[in-house]
Amino acid sequence: MEKKTKTRCLLITSIFPPIHGGSAVVYENLCKYAPQDSMFVLTPWRNYATGNVIEGWQNFDKQAPYYIERMELLRPYSIQSKSRLHSLWLLATQDLPLKLKTLLKVISIVRSKKINIICVGELNSGSWLGFICQKLFGCKMINYIHGEEITTTTPYLLYGRGKKFYLKQANAVIAVSEFTRNALIKMMEVPVEKIKVITNGVDTNKFFPGKKDKKIIRKHNLKDKSVILTVGRLIERKGFDNTIRALPEIIKSIPSINYLIVGDGEYRQRLESLVTELELHSYVTFAGRIAEEDLVKYYQTCDLFVMPNRELSDHDTEGFGLVFLEANACQKAVVGGRAGGAIEAVKHEQTGLLVDGYNVAEIGDAIVKLLKNHEYRQKMEIQGLETAQNANWEKQTASFFELCQQLIQENSK
């Protein structure tokens, strides 16, 4: 009987815990539920988007049951060049030295850990490393695609060409939804047989039903309130602004409403200005960033989860929407946007309701309908919990490693 070669996969990504975000959650769970000594991670200890040191990274790495190697950065900061000369100076003094340092680190890990699979977590900035490892060491390369990195248009034509080139070189491409799979086929011309859909799972050991948390209720003055919750990075496509715009009409039917927003991001100032403009300070609470261990308590404390995502003019949209499954796992019904991969994460009229994220009235009507009709909402809560429990990360990770084994066995034939 032929002996199987063990999968030894190096995940290369700048987005990894304790950074918050859907992609980070996906990669963490792939590693967490992987067979022992099968996953290795290369990631930075500084946030390339903000320039800040990632808070808590050392403690996180000490507790992780898998290998994590950190560098200051894997890719340079995004700096707008002032001229062609300035662009060349940045290339010579920042981009190329960092690329060389990153490449040497990757080569060191590949050799010392006997890596045979490179999983690239960021198409634009990490694929070149996987490509080089293919050529130098015979590693197989997998691109993990969430959606927005291929659907969002960019003024830089070379980026588009580069994406297609690396996807063509990849041995396999993972799509987190059918929406992402279709975008890969239509926009990036990726062959159907190269794509494997592995939908995002949910950690049901971490997210589960429970009673409302008394400390959170006291902290945010939520006693006797009907709480709608949003969790996520505060960016435009998530639809937080239109949920706020829907509140004046919602308040007429549910005066005790409170919109609790968990997360931070570049759109926060715009949202706070909108709250001021509509005089809704008594109805909207910005919780900001919270401790990871408290997230499940916030889900448990809400009455309804809401994120009416939408597709923006540059085609930026949700690739899936992991937060919907997290809310379902805590036995909460959800309201999501009828855009991107969210239409797969939310089963309309089964686990929640899908709405037009641009239609303020439709968002408000869905929230009122679910909060006012307890039996209707309870039915969705039960179905949502069942759906989440059937989409746990043990199953999704098993699918990932089945793909890895197929690629490795192809190599040995």
pLDDT digits (tens, 9 = 90+) for 56-106: 999 999 999 999 999 999 988 766 666 777 677 877 888 899 999 999 999
Give me 166's structure tokens: 């690396």
pLDDT by residue (tens digit) across 330-383?
999 999 999 999 999 999 999 999 999 999 999 999 999 999 999 999 999 999
For 12, 124, 158, 160, 399, the CA distances from 186, given in Å and listed in that order, are 26, 18, 18, 13, 24
Angle (CA) 94-98-102 rounded to 5° is: 170
Beta bridge partners of 305: 229, 334
The predicted-structure confidence for 118-134, as pLDDT tens digits, reads as follows: 999 999 899 999 999 99
Residue 4 placed within a domain? no
186, HSE (Cβ side, Cα atoms, 13 Å): 8
Q: For the chain, how long is the longest CA-to-CA vector?
A: 72
User: For residue 405, what are the domain limits?
Assistant: 9-201+392-412
Tokens of 308: 């009416």
Examine residue 256 and state whether it is found in any structural domain, yes or no: yes
Give the per-residue pLDDT at 305: 98
Question: Do residues 117 and 163 share a domain?
Answer: yes
Residues 408 and 371 reside in one and the same domain:
no
Is residue 86 domain-shared with residue 197, that is, in the same domain?
yes
Please, are residues 143 and 127 in contact by the beta-carbon 8 Å criterion?
yes
| Least confident among 21-25, 191-195, 296-300 | 21-25
Calculate the alpha carbon distances from 365 to 11, 238, 331, 335, 369 in Å.
43, 18, 21, 11, 6
User: For residues 366 and 374, is the Cβ–Cβ distance under 8 A?
Assistant: no
Q: What is the pLDDT of residue 159?
A: 46
Phi-psi region of 410 (alpha: psi -120 to 50; beta: other; left: phi over 0): alpha
Give which of 268, 195, 201, 236 is closest to 339, Cα–Cα: 236
| Sequence-distant (≥ 6) Cβ neighbours of residue 294 within 8 angstroms | 216
Lowest-pLDDT range, 28-42, 143-157, 172-186, 276-290?
A: 143-157
149 and 269 in a single domain? The answer is: no
Q: What is the pLDDT of residue 49?
A: 80
Tell me: do 105 and 40 sit in the same domain.
yes
